[in-house]
Amino acid sequence: MAETTSAHTQAPGGPPPKEFPPFQRETFASQLIWLALTFGILYVLVARIGLPRVGGILQARGARIAGDIADAERLRDQSQAALAAYEKALAEARNRAHAVAGEARARADAQAEATRKTLEDKLNARLAEAERSIAATKTAAMSNVRGIAIEAAGAIVTRLIGDAPGEKAAAAAVDDALRQTHGS
């Protein structure tokens, strides 16, 4: 070890025992001066460089965090606005689609109805025509039947009595018979 002021405090026969080291007054001056020097340097370093630098770091970080949080909040607001706009647009589109679909359905129904009606009209017309044609055919047939019946009645009477009835009498008799059958 280095030279000591009192290496053997209890050494018998040595120099008189020294005072307790913290109370040795002759060391005070040197300790005070070195304390003033070192603590002074420490204070200057701390006050001029150390604390401003660490404080600056902490402040910058605080500002950065606050800025980031503000950014995040702004972006969140934006995304929420975008979401709201999207939902609104979606709802509008859905409504419009409903409207378009309803319109299309109505138009299709109207068209189908019109088609059905024209078809029905056409069918009715053809039905009426057919009925008319049937009636005409029937009338024609009936008049043919009358002629045949008159001839037949004339022929039958001729065979039965050997004398041909007058054309008019036969026609009257057939008409009478036809009336009776139609009347019943």
Partner 1 sequence: MAASPIHQFEIIKLLPIGKIGGIDLHFTNSALFMVIAVALTALLLLGTTTSRQMVPGRLQSIAELSYEFVANTLRSTAGEEGMKFFPLVFSLFMFILISNMVGLVPYAFTVTSHIIITASLALLVFVTVLVYGFWKNGLRFFRLFVPSGIPIYILPLIVFIEVLSFLSRPISHSVRLFANMLAGHITLKVFAGFVTMLGGLGILGWVGAVLPLALTIALTALEFLVAFLQAYVFTILTCIYINDALHPGH
Note the residues at the interface with partner 1 (CB under 8 A): 1-10, 20-24, 26-36, 38-39, 41-43, 45-47, 49-51, 53-58, 60-61, 64
User: DSSP readout, 5-35?
Assistant: S-S-TT-TTSSPPPPPGGG-GGGHHHHHHHH
> Which conformational region is residue 21 in: left (phi greater than 0), alpha (psi within -120 to 50 degrees), or beta?
alpha
Contact 157, 173 (CB under 8 A): no
What's the rounded Cα separation, in Å, for the pair 143 and 132? Answer: 16
Identify which of residues 1 and 161 has a Cβ nearer to partner 1 in the complex.
1
Identify which of residues 20 and 162 has a Cβ nearer to partner 1 in the complex.
20
* Least distance from partner 1 to the Cβ atom of residue 23, Å: 7
* Least distance from partner 1 to the Cβ atom of residue 74, Å: 21
* Least distance from partner 1 to the Cβ atom of residue 79, Å: 26
Contact 179, 149 (CB under 8 A): no
Identify which of residues 7 and 161 has a Cβ nearer to partner 1 in the complex.
7
Identify which of residues 30 and 180 has a Cβ nearer to partner 1 in the complex.
30
